Amino acid sequence: MALTLFQLTSYLNYWLNAVDEHSIHSPYFFDLYTNVIKNSKPNVGFDKIEAIRAKLVQDQSQITVRDLGAPSQYFKSDKRTIATVAASSLAPTKMALLLYRLAAHIKAKQIVELGTSFGVTTLYLSKCTNASIYTFEGNVPMLNIALTNFESTETSNIVLVEGNIDETLPEFVEANRKLDFALMDANHRYEPTIKYFNLLVERMTSDAIVVVDDIYQSKEMAKAWKEIRGHELVYGSMDLFRFGLLFFDSSLNKQHYTCAW
């Protein structure tokens, strides 16, 4: 699907402002950018997950998907093939690998993913040593496919939370869990994004990372991203255009970077 004028303008602004390691003066962000974000070492151990992706993008079986968040930019009907849903909703391999590297870099033990889809990114995150993954999904057909994928890979550190995130996430955070990593990739609208972040932020450890996906998908997502970046508990952020990263260590001193990726 073609980019909207807003997305094109946003990308142009991003491209004009993006910097590389030569303009990053913070030791923390320099290390993160050079050793994690721009890491070019071969990634091994993900072949089974990529085989699942390849199967999904070829699967012409039809499922019914309800848009629980913002209306889909790609579909006008709830009846969709698995292949078309996979093509539009699965994080690209490059992004999934980066999410894994980010979580592994901070040795995340408690990971939350809002928006399971078919579970491909979930499986990447599950490769983090000694991590428990809590992934939230409201669409039952997608959830069932994700469960099948988890079982086929014999993955045992994933807990799938079924239901509307508006209801399941508040119940989850009430358990007073401390969280190390969160991926927000569910309801791509302003109000739910702010609501979910406000629920999560009080649970994040000082070393934690929160990833907000599709920050320039729409004007309201860009508004949410700008507001979240300014939250009193956010001490650092990084804009990679496709998604944004948020950091909570007070020593970072409210630094923000727009980085080429």
pLDDT for 177 equals 81
Q: Percentages helix, strand, coil for the chain, rounded to the nearest 5?
A: 45, 20, 35
In percent, how much of the chain has pLDDT > 90? 88
Mean pLDDT of the chain: 93
| Whether residue 17 has pLDDT greater than 50 | yes
Name residue 193's amino acid: T
Indicate the domain borders of the chain.
5-58+91-258
* pLDDT bucket at 76, cuts 50 / 70 / 90: low
Question: For the residues of 66-113, what is the DSSP string, one character each?
Answer: ---SSPPSS-SSSEEEHHHHHHHHSPPHHHHHHHHHHHHHTT-SEEEE
Classified as helix, coil or strand, 131 is coil
Q: How confident is the model at residue 72 (pLDDT cuts 50, 70, 90)?
A: very low
> Smallest Cα–Cα separation from 112: which of 193, 210, 29?
210
82 neighbors 63 (Cβ within 8 angstroms): yes
User: Token digits for 50?
Assistant: 């990529």
pLDDT tens-digit series, residues 132-169 = 999 999 999 999 999 999 999 999 999 999 999 999 99
Q: For domain 5-58+91-258, give the CATH number.
A: 3.40.50.150
